[in-house]
Each structure stands twice: as structure tokens, then as C-alpha cells.
Structure 1
Amino acid sequence: MRIFQLYPDGEYEFLTAEDEDDLEQLGELDATSRAADWAPVPVGIGTTDEDTGSPLRRADFPWLGSWSLVLRDQAIDLAGPVLEPFGEILPLTCPDARIALFNPLVVLDALDENHSQLVRFPDGDLMVIEKYVFSSRAVPERSIFKIPQERSGAVFYTEPVVDELRGLGLAGLDFKLLWDSDAD
């Protein structure tokens, strides 16, 4: 089994928010359904590199972070059916495009803490996971999930889902291999 995490793909557009609190709200998704009381957050699309001023390539998945998958226009229609069994698609408000955010709702107790590399605070709370090791038995072959140790953090994708998403031919999305059961 191979498990992946979102990774930015080159020089593509990114998501912006006018209000820092709105951006923070997007980062607080903790695998709890928000659809019933969701108020679309106003966002924009960053089209130039903040350091160089160079134009960025159009993204079907504007970058926000590895903890959040943002979908634009065609990606909502094509990737939505791949994602929906594992969460909900929440609309965002954008003057330039139809934009949505994927909120994963599957939480699997799949982290093998004994073999992962964890850094803890002095009180024992988890600070960071430096190396992930998963229990293959705890993860279905086709899944998008979070783990209880990082409910507001990382989102994990199994290889069949990654292959489906890559196969759509949409721009601005890539994944990095995080864990391979054959390598451990």
C-alpha cells in the first residue's frame, strides 16, 4: 500500500483570502461535516508569483496547503465524484471563478505511533510527525482520510485515488509519496 499527500505542482495559481480570519477558518477543517451551516468564504486567486511578480499558470486546483484541496470550475465537475465518497465539497465565493473546498470526513486510526517518528511537547501532546508509518490493515485500498492525531492537519490519499485524480488531466495538482508499506 502507498499513501500520498498533496504537493504543489510547479508555478501554478494559489488561493488568497481578503480576511486572515477567513483563511484561518479554511485551515480549521477537522473532519467534521460543515455542509449544514457552511457560509461560503470569500476568496481570490493569486495569479502572480509574490517574490518575482512573474505570472503563474492557471490551476484547476489552486494551492492552499497540503491540508486542503481547492477545486476550480472543471475540477469541481470532474474530481468531485472521485472525492465525494470521502467528504463534502464546500463552495467558496470568488469573483473570478467557481471555487470549492474539499472537506474530508473520514478519520482512520491508522498511524502506527510505535514506528512513526513523533516529536512531543514536554506534557506529552503531539507537536509534529516527522515520519509517518501506517497500519495497512486500518486503511481501505481506496481512501482519502485524516488521522485522529492531526484532525485539522494533513490529508492522506491512497494510491488508487491519486491515480484517478491524476488521470483527470487537470492542472496544478500533484502528490508526494509519504509512505510505502513495501519500503518498511
Structure 2
Amino acid sequence: MRVFQLYPVGEYEFLTTEDEDDLEQLGELDATSLAADWTPVPVELGTTDEDSGAPLLRADFPWLGSWSLVLRDQGIDLAGPVLDSFGELLPLTCPDARVALFNPLVVLDALDESRSKLVRFPDGDLMVIEKYVFAQRAIPERSVFKIPQERSGAVFYTEPVVDELRGLGLAGLDFKLLWDSDAD
């Protein structure tokens, strides 16, 4: 089994929030359903490189962060059904495109803490996970999930889901391998 995380690719468009509090709100998704009471957060599409001013490539998945998957137009239409059984799409307000944030709702107690590399605060609370090792038996073959140790953090994708998303031919999305049970 192989588990992946989102990874930015190339020079593609990105999203920013108009308000810092909104970015914090989007970063605190904790695998709780929000669809019933969701108010779309205003965002802007970044279409030029902040350093050089060069135009960026159009993205079906504009980058916001590794903890969030944002879908735009065709990404919503094609990838939405792939992700549907693992969470919900929350609309965002953007003047230049139809965009939505994927809110994963699956939490799996799949982290093998004894074999992972964890850094803890002096009081014992988790600070950061430097190396992930998962309990393979706790993860369905096809899944998008979070772990209880990082409910507001990382989102994990199993290889069949990654292959399906890559196979859609959409732009601006890639994944990096985080854990491979065969290499463990």
C-alpha cells in the first residue's frame, strides 16, 4: 500500500483569501461536516508569479496548501465524483472562477505512532510528525483520510485514488509519496 499527500507542481495558479481569518478558517477543517451551515469564503485567484510577474498556467486545482484540495470548474465536475464518498465540496466565492474546497470527512486511526517519528512538546502534546508510518490494516485500499493526531492538518490519499485523479488529465495537481508499506 502506498499513501500520498498533495504536492504543488509547476507554475500554476493559486488561491489567496482576502482576509487572514478566512485562511485560518480554511486551515482548521477537522473532518467535521460543514455543508449545512457553510458560508462561502471569499478568495482570489493568483494568476501571476509573485516574484517575476510572469503569467501562471491555468489550474484545475489552484494551490492553497498541502492541507487543502481546491477544485476549479472542470476539477469540480470531474474530480468531485471521485472524492464524493470521502467528503464534501464547500463552495468558495471567487470573482474569476467557480471554485470549491474539498473537506475530507474520513478519519482513520491509522498512524503507527511507535514506528513513526513524532516530535512532542514538553507536556507530551504532538508538535509535528516528521515521518509517517501507517498501520496498513486500518486503511481501506481506496481512501482519502485524515488521522486523529492531525484532524486539522494533513490529508492522505491512497494510490488508487491518486491514480484516478491523475488519470483525469487535469492541471495543477500532483502528489508526493509519503509512505510505502513495501519499503517500510
Fold-level similarity (TM above 0.5): yes
Q: RMSD over aligned Cα, in angstroms?
A: 0.5
* SS in structure 2 of the partner of residue 118 of structure 1: strand
Q: 5+ unaligned residues in a row in structure 1: which ranges? A: none
Amino acid at match of 1:15: L
Displaced runs of 4 or more, over 3 A: none
Which residue of the partner structure matches residue 173 of structure 1? 173
Quick check: 1:32 aligned with 2:32?
yes
CA distance in 1, matches of 2:32, 2:183: 33
- 1:53 Cα deviation from its structure 2 partner: 1.4
Name the SS for the 1:160 alignment partner: helix
Residue in 2 aligned with 1:92?
Answer: 92
Please report how far the alpha carbon of residue 104 of structure 1 lies from its aligned counterpart in structure 2 after TM superposition. Answer: 0.0
Superposition TM-score, scaled by structure 2 size: 0.99
- The Cα offsets for residues 126-184 of structure 1, whole Å up to 9 and x where unpaired, read as 00000000000000000000000000000000000000000000000000000000001
Superposed displacement of residue 21, structure 1 = 0.8
Q: Distance in 2 between matches of 1:33 and 1:23?
A: 18
Q: Which residue of 2 aligns with 1:41?
A: 41
2:53 corresponding residue in structure 1: 53
Q: Report the counterpart of residue 130 of structure 1 in structure 2.
A: 130
Separation in 1, partners of 2:12, 2:121:
36
Tell me the equivalent position of 2:103.
Answer: 103
Gaps of 5+ in 2: none
- The secondary structure found in structure 2 opposite 1:115 is coil
Corresponding residue SS for 1:165: helix
The percent identity for this pair of structures is 88
Q: CA deviation at 1:71?
A: 0.2
In structure 1, C-alpha distance between the alignment counterparts of 2:120 and 2:55, rounded to whole Å: 41
